[in-house]
């Protein structure tokens, strides 16, 4: 047997392999094929593998797919909000929950590690092998991800200050440039330090948090630092009606126009969410050409459909963007961290918004969650099953009733089976999900910690809310609590 990480494993006679075709630059189906990995790398895909193998795995009734890239997530706090935000938005603030409610429902930083573990558990179960965590730099951040076995991009967020509302219909910004400058320096230091993590699976990057909370100089400086490191920046922009109007008020430009004006709209910029362009149905602003600017710039988009669908908001549309050559990745952003749910919602929402069944295709969604997402983080060795790529992939159980009949297995996975059919997940050649069970860690204690975190947030809500409302007033339960019979 070959020693250590040089072990060769072959998956034989797989019903389906979603293999990478470098000639077409797209995925292709291979039926009844073999795939072999040695250590953390794919070394063979094709017909019968005749080379040496330490381990042989029967691939019958199995499909191999590339690992998903969750291009935009906030795992350090989102899991603690389950049950509170699904039906909540501000009717006088563009239906968003960003300005009135997110500051109220803050989860204490002492629960960050617990939230990350729960989010990563969910992500792994849905076939995510690389998670992009947009969060505040802190000690132990890289270790928290490394111990789960996932591959992670830690996009350190910084800003000059928060937003708030005092009345539920207007937004104020408490910005301090010196604070933002200091946090930018600390974020750059963090990005450099975590990229050297001994696991080899962690990369640090730089994220000006939001277009409306960072100065022009901070965005420019972040972009310059990222370019020195051969990386892109990630910035929330065009994510709400409020933000669109605020940037127009400050600059006379749409958010996309302003990024272009300051030299920050280009191939080194990832825009999270880029929904509210001037031609979006919710924005009557015929005096700009945001879509064309975005298309021509080479900038990329992190698309997170589920969290916006909760608020009645949708991108216009995934296929429109991708057909125009705008690179889009798929992210979870909020809970649950199930990227297959996001892919399905991207397709359905795009079709509803466009009134056209071609408004968002399965092929676009799958590419966004795999190869395109990998390209966005500058990792062409991820998101693909091809020789020389990292052994980041999932094994799908084709015997699962939701996967049958199997004329089109990716459609069955996205629209019917979801994570129920994800059997095994490999990251860097290591199996991190086995028989649908996460291998490296248990989240029983983390769930209990998040219950405490949520209880604390509920208790503090009236002090944080501008109107002093209780949680039951802010986010009423689906049905009222009955009076106790005791």
| pLDDT reading at 26 higher than 90 | yes
Q: What three-state secondary structure class fits 144?
A: helix
Average pLDDT over residues 326-340: 97
Percent of the chain at pLDDT exceeding 70: 99
pLDDT in tens, 161-189: 999 999 999 999 999 999 999 999 999 99
Average pLDDT over residues 441-454: 98
Task: Compute the mean pLDDT over every residue in the chain, rounded to the nearest whole number.
Answer: 96
**CA dihedral in degrees (243, 299, 388, 368; nearest 10)?**
50
pLDDT in tens, 141-165: 999 999 999 999 999 999 999 999 9
Confidence of residue 4 (pLDDT cuts 50, 70, 90): very low
Q: What three-state secondary structure class fits 425?
A: strand
Report all structural domains of the chain as residue ranges with CATH numbers, in order of start.
Answer: 4-66+386-438 (2.30.40.10), 68-376 (3.20.20.140)
Q: What is the pLDDT of residue 6?
A: 84
Average pLDDT over residues 239-256: 98
Average pLDDT over residues 34-47: 97
Average pLDDT over residues 98-127: 96
| pLDDT reading at 331 higher than 60 | yes
Contact 363, 347 (CB under 8 A): no
pLDDT in tens, 46-59: 999 999 999 999 99
Percent of the chain at pLDDT exceeding 90: 96
**From start to end of 304-442, where are the E strands?**
328-330, 393-397, 422-427, 430-434, 437-438
- Residue-by-residue DSSP string for 52-101: --SEEEE-TTEEEEEPEEEEEE-TTTGGGGTTTSTT---TTTTT-STTTT
Q: What is the pTM of this model?
A: 0.96
Tokens at residue 407, please? 């004329």
| pLDDT reading at 1 higher than 70 | no
Contact 62, 15 (CB under 8 A): yes
Average pLDDT over residues 444-448: 98
Q: What is the pLDDT of residue 485?
A: 57
Average pLDDT over residues 81-92: 93
| pLDDT reading at 353 higher than 50 | yes
Confidence of residue 86 (pLDDT cuts 50, 70, 90): very high
CA distances (Å), 235 to each of 7, 90, 143, 256, 327, in order? 41, 23, 24, 12, 15
With the C-alpha atoms ordered 111, 114, 117, 119, is the resulting torsion angle positive or negative? negative
**From start to end of 146-299, where are the E strands?**
151-158, 163-164, 172-173, 202-208, 233-237, 269-273
- Residue-by-residue DSSP string for 100-125: TTTTTTPPPGGGHHHHHHHHHHHHHH
Q: What is the pLDDT of residue 29?
A: 98
Q: What is the pLDDT of residue 80?
A: 92
Q: What is the pLDDT of residue 3?
A: 36
**From start to end of 216-297, where are the E strands?**
233-237, 269-273
**53 φ, ψ to 5°?**
-140, 130
Confidence of residue 379 (pLDDT cuts 50, 70, 90): very high
Confidence of residue 5 (pLDDT cuts 50, 70, 90): low
């Amino acid at each position: 047997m070959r020693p250590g990480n040089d072990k060769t494993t072959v998956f034989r006679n797989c019903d389906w392999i979603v293999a990478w075709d470098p000639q077409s630059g797209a995925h292709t189906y291979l039926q009844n094929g073999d795939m072999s990995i040695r250590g953390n790398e794919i070394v063979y895909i094709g017909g019968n593998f005749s080379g040496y193998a330490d381990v042989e795995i029967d691939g019958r009734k199995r499909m191999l797919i590339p690992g998903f890239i969750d291009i935009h997530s906030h795992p350090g706090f989102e899991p603690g909000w389950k049950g509170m935000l699904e039906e909540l938005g501000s009717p006088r603030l563009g239906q968003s929950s960003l300005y009135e409610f997110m500051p109220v429902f803050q989860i204490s930083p002492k629960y960050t590690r617990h939230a990350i573990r729960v989010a990563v558990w969910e992500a792994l179960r849905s076939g995510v092998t690389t998670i992009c965590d947009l969060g505040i730099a802190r000690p132990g951040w890289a270790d928290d991800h490394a111990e789960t076995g996932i591959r992670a991009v830690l996009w350190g967020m910084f800003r000059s200050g928060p937003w708030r509302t005092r009345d539920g219909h207007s937004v104020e910004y408490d910005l301090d440039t010196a604070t933002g400058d200091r946090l930018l320096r600390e974020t750059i230091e963090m990005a450099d330090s975590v990229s050297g993590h001994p696991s080899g699976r962690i990369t640090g990057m730089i994220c000006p948090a939001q277009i409306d909370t960072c100065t022009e100089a901070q965005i420019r400086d972040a972009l310059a630092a990222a370019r020195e490191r051969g990386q892109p920046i990630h910035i929330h922009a065009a994510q709400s009606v409020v933000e669109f109007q605020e940037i127009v008020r400050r600059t006379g430009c749409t958010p996309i126009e302003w990024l272009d004006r300051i030299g920050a709209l280009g191939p080194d910029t990832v825009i999270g969410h880029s929904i509210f362009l001037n031609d979006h149905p919710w924005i009557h602003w015929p005096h700009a050409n945001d879509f064309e600017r975005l298309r021509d710039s080479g900038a990329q988009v992190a698309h997170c459909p589920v969290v916006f669908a909760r608020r009645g908001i949708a991108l216009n549309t995934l296929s429109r963007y991708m057909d125009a050559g705008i690179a889009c990745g798929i992210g979870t952003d909020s809970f649950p961290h199930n990227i297959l749910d996001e892919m399905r919602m991207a397709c359905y929402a795009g079709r509803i918004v466009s009134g056209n069944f071609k408004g968002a295709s399965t092929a676009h969604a799958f590419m966004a969650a795999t190869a395109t997402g990998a390209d966005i983080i500058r990792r062409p060795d991820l998101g693909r099953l091809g020789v020389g790529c990292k052994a980041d992939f999932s094994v799908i159980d084709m015997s699962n009733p939701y996967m049958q009949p199997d004329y089109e297995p990716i459609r069955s996975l996205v629209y019917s089976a979801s994570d129920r059919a994800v059997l095994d997940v490999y990251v860097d050649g290591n199996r991190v999900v086995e028989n649908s069970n996460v291998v490296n860690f248990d989240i029983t204690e983390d769930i209990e910690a998040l219950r405490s975190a949520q209880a604390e947030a509920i208790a503090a809500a009236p002090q944080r809310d501008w109107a002093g409302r209780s949680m039951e007033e802010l986010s009423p339960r689906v049905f009222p609590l009955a009076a106790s019979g005791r």
